[in-house]
Amino acid sequence: MSVELRRNGLHLTGTPLSLDATRKSPLSFVSHGHTDHIARHEATISTAATLRFMTHRLGPVGAPLAVPFNQIFELGSLTLELLPAGHILGSAQIRVIRSDGKRIVYTGDLNVVPSLTAEPVQVAECDTLVIEATFGHPRYRFPPKDEVLAKVEAWVRQQLERGTVPVLLGYPLGKSQEAMKYLAGKGLSLVAHASIFEMAQLYTELGVTIERLRRFDGKVEPGEVLFFPPHLARGGGLSGLWPRATAVLTGWALDPGAAYRYGAQVAFPVSDHADCPSLVKYVKDTGAREVITHHGFKEELAQLLREQGIDARALGSKPQQLALF
């Protein structure tokens, strides 16, 4: 067997199992509920939380298998296990153990920094590691999250004191809920676009309560902080709201001109991904003897790992097989 890069994503050859397939597949492991990792598969392996997000976004999920973390299960001759990835609520890594004991791990999106709204990451010890390299370039080194969130709070309070509506741009699922959880804990009142509000309701349903929050109805009351999706803000969704100040929450805030690209005045590096140093440390902590990087800065991360004596290579964009089995 091998890991193969197909048009719809990664696949374990010789098995029916795909990994975060982006198109309909007979059977796919889905690591988390972000739209770039889900599809209407014939059968889906995931956590209960991810399946709930998928149902909300896609409708009924075909043949869902909800697997708790750290519960061993079988797929033909393979032994499988899901472990927390720390990315968003319910995000998971999958560890595949073949009959001779060799362990292969696919991380999906990963975050090693503790989150207010996601299960803490669990180091997935393995022999071969397939790891996403979204922020795998050495220039991505995030400041401590508590310091960044404190700066977000200070910015929000400054806008409120000025009589300006503070608008925080964030994707509907993940970092928005964490930022809301943080700000609500500081006594601030929140209002969110329907797409963000509905995900926050699902978080509450799944046991992570986000308080002091209401659905955006076109108006923002004095003292409220508005959460809004970036793509809708750029499309004029905020045109009737004035005076306002806009900040974007994204790991890409470390790039020059990030705020401008999102149509914001300021960008804060709030991310639900691991930065480059964290990715390198995670690789080492797994004990993997072979590392496959993919997505994002896969070439840069593989090179960095090789410079530190680790057998690493990037998965190419063309069909390629890697002999893991």
* pLDDT per residue as tens digits for the range 181-190: 999 999 999 9
Q: ∠86-90-93 over CA atoms, to 5°? A: 60
Q: Give the confidence band of 99 by pLDDT, cuts at 50, 70, 90.
A: confident
pLDDT at position 2 is: 61
In this predicted model, what pLDDT tens digit does every residue of 250-289 receive, in sequence order?
Answer: 999 999 999 999 999 999 999 999 999 999 999 999 999 9
- Rg, C-alpha atoms of the chain: 20
Percentage of the chain with pLDDT > 90?
A: 86
pLDDT beyond 80 at 45: yes
CATH number assigned to the domain comprising residue 302? 3.60.15.10
Q: Give the confidence band of 321 by pLDDT, cuts at 50, 70, 90.
A: very low
pLDDT at position 325 is: 42
- One domain, residues 120 and 151: no
User: What is the SS3 assignment for 79-95?
Assistant: EEEEEECCCCCCCEEEE
- One domain, residues 93 and 114: yes
Average pLDDT for residues 108-132, to the nearest whole number?
A: 97
- One domain, residues 25 and 132: yes
- One domain, residues 126 and 12: yes
Range of the domain at 192: 145-268
pLDDT beyond 90 at 1: no
Q: Give the confidence band of 316 by pLDDT, cuts at 50, 70, 90.
A: confident
- One domain, residues 84 and 135: yes
Which pTM does this prediction carry?
0.94
In this predicted model, what pLDDT tens digit does every residue of 202-221 receive, in sequence order?
Answer: 999 999 999 999 999 999 99
- One domain, residues 258 and 154: yes
Average pLDDT for residues 119-131, to the nearest whole number?
A: 97
Query: Of the candidates 251, 268, 285, which is a domain's last residue?
Result: 268
pLDDT at position 98 is: 87
pLDDT beyond 80 at 167: yes
**CA–CA dist 256, 249 (Å, integer):** 14
Query: Of the candidates 228, 248, 268, which is a domain's last residue?
Result: 268
Is residue 72 within 8 Å of 80, Cβ to Cβ?
yes
Is residue 49 within 8 Å of 90, Cβ to Cβ?
yes
Percentage of the chain with pLDDT > 70?
A: 97
Bridge-based pairing state of the strands 189-192 and 213-215: parallel
pLDDT beyond 80 at 318: no
**CA–CA dist 280, 296 (Å, integer):** 15
CATH number assigned to the domain comprising residue 187? 3.40.50.10890
In this predicted model, what pLDDT tens digit does every residue of 4-25 receive, in sequence order?
Answer: 788 778 988 778 899 999 999 9
- One domain, residues 128 and 151: no
User: What is the SS3 assignment for the chain?
Assistant: CCEEEECCEEEECCCCCEECCCCCCCCEECCCCCHHHCCCCCCEEECHHHHHHHHHHHCCCCCEEECCCCCCEEECCEEEEEEECCCCCCCEEEEEECCCCCEEEECCCCCCCCCCCCCCCCCCCCCEEEEECCCCCCCCCCCCHHHHHHHHHHHHHHHHHCCCEEEEECCCCCHHHHHHHHHHHCCCEEEECHHHHHHHHHHHHCCCCCCCEEECCCCCCCCEEEEECHHHHHCCCCCCCCCEEEEEECHHHHCCCHHHHCCCCEEECCCCCCCHHHHHHHHHHHCCCEEEEECCCHHHHHHHHHHCCCCEEECCCCCCEECCC
Virtual CA dihedral for 250, 88, 119, 296, nearest 10 degrees? Answer: -70
- One domain, residues 95 and 167: no
In this predicted model, what pLDDT tens digit does every residue of 235-255 receive, in sequence order?
Answer: 778 988 999 999 999 999 999
- One domain, residues 91 and 24: yes
pLDDT beyond 50 at 319: no
Say whether the peptide bond before residue 243 is cis (omega within 30 degrees of 0).
yes
- One domain, residues 196 and 251: yes
Give me the chain's average pLDDT, please.
Answer: 94
Instruction: Name the region of 101 (left: φ>0; alpha: ψ -120 to 50; beta: rest).
Output: left
